[in-house]
Amino acid sequence: MSQPEYDQGPRIAHAGSVHLGTPDLQKSLWFFRDLLGMEVVEELDGTAYLRGYQELTHHSLILSQQPEATVLGYSFRVQRPQDVELFAQRFGEQGIKTLEIGKGQVAGRGEAVRFLVPGSEHPFELYYDITKPLAPEEIRSKILSNSSRRRGLGVRRLDHINLQTGESTVEQAELWLREALGFKRREVLKTPDLLIASWLSVTPQVHDVAMGRGAEDRPGQFHHVALNVENFHDLLTAADQMRDLDIEWGAGPGKHGIGQAMYLYVHDPGSGHRIELYSGGHLIFDPDWQPLEWSPRQEWGGTWYGHTLDTGPGGSFLTTTPSAGL
């Protein structure tokens, strides 16, 4: 006798893209396209859609001309086409206001639902359908899992997104991401009474998204987006070139204790948004994984070795850029 199929309900598949507003689109394009080597898939009306050389879908980064540096959206792909509508229904039952984004309103992408994360107020978009265009012949790779040949500093893909909100709302937002969207807490930095930061994922990565407490009690803050490079040597090569080109430095190179990846933080010269070049890190396959709890006393959590993160009062690593509303 066959058993009825169990439906886990709507689920997130992975982090899909981030939409960065920049006051100087051409300078940002130079940074991401010419220096980091991302492919510009499409340009429409002051908006450019880019991807790394191992991304087959239409884009993972959107750049658009804006008066000020802001983040217009954080997008996540869901597991099934019906999950977009199922999530929208769930949010309606929770009293969360949503906006429907029609097919084609974002180039290459199908219908989506947009909402603000309760507590943190970050604008999330959930979608399933996205096109998979071939790269132009002149940059196409012979490796079938690559969308294009490696160029520039060799960004492979979007790795994760790091978000911040106020001390009064960080626990609400982090809990909601786990309970409503199914993210799993993988590692966490906390005191007995206060959540400082949480690394969350739906994939074997330590984090697809991180939610942390900002230096100020403000919601909707963007800390950084991480772009994956293949190995540690690539990251050190990037550090050399960034210094030579006077790219604004953030922190690194170094290695995180939390997640165990090598890092280099710099700032997009067109917008000032913080960008992390990220390589390595441990993967999680255990179905019974228990979150690892770090204490602020374990200072090697942020930096295991290398150039340390400036997290003191007024430290450069605490600066953020704002997110747009609904």
Query: 178: exposed, middle or buried (C-beta count within 10 Å: 0-12, 13-18, 19+)?
Result: middle
| Residue at token pair 């200072």 | 299
Task: Give the CA-trace dihedral at 271, 273, 274, 275, to 10 degrees.
Answer: -70
| Residues in CB range of 286: below 8 A, 6 or more apart | none
What is the C-alpha separation between 254 and 271, in angstroms, rounded?
24
Task: Give the CA-trace dihedral at 68, 311, 122, 9, to 10 degrees.
Answer: 150
What is the C-alpha separation between 271 and 261, in angstroms, rounded?
25
Write down the domain spans for the chain.
Answer: 12-134+155-322
Q: Please determine, looking at this structure, whether the domain spanning 12-134+155-322 carries the CATH number 3.10.180.10.
A: yes
What is the C-alpha separation between 30 and 160, in angstroms, rounded?
22
Q: What are phi and psi of 33, to 5 degrees?
A: -85, -55
pLDDT of residue 89: 97
pLDDT of residue 4: 64
Of all helices (H) and strands (E), which one includes residue 86?
helix 83-93
**Reduced to 3 states, what is the DSSP secondary structure of residue 81?**
coil
Tens-digit pLDDT profile for the chain (326 aa)? 566 677 889 999 999 999 999 999 999 999 999 999 999 999 999 999 999 999 999 999 999 999 999 999 999 999 999 999 999 999 999 999 999 999 999 999 999 999 999 999 999 999 999 999 999 999 999 999 999 999 999 999 999 999 999 999 999 999 999 999 999 999 999 999 899 999 999 999 999 999 999 988 899 999 999 999 999 999 999 999 999 999 998 888 999 999 999 999 999 999 999 999 999 999 999 999 999 999 887 776 778 787 666 655 555 677 899 999 99
Query: 177: exposed, middle or buried (C-beta count within 10 Å: 0-12, 13-18, 19+)?
Result: buried
Q: What residue type is assigned to position 194 of the chain? A: L
What is the C-alpha separation between 133 and 50, in angstroms, rounded?
12
CA distance readout (Å), 98 to 106, 119, 164 = 17, 15, 21
Nearest to 28 by CA among 44, 47, 15: 47
What is the C-alpha separation between 276 and 36, in angstroms, rounded?
12
pLDDT of residue 306: 79
Task: Give the CA-trace dihedral at 217, 218, 219, 222, to 10 degrees.
Answer: -110
Q: Are 217 and 168 in contact, with CB atoms under 8 Å apart?
A: yes
Q: Computed from CA positions of residues 238, 242, 248, 249, in that sequence, does the dihedral angle turn out positive or negative? A: positive
pTM of the predicted model as reported, rounded to 2 decimal places = 0.95
**Reduced to 3 states, what is the DSSP secondary structure of residue 221?**
strand
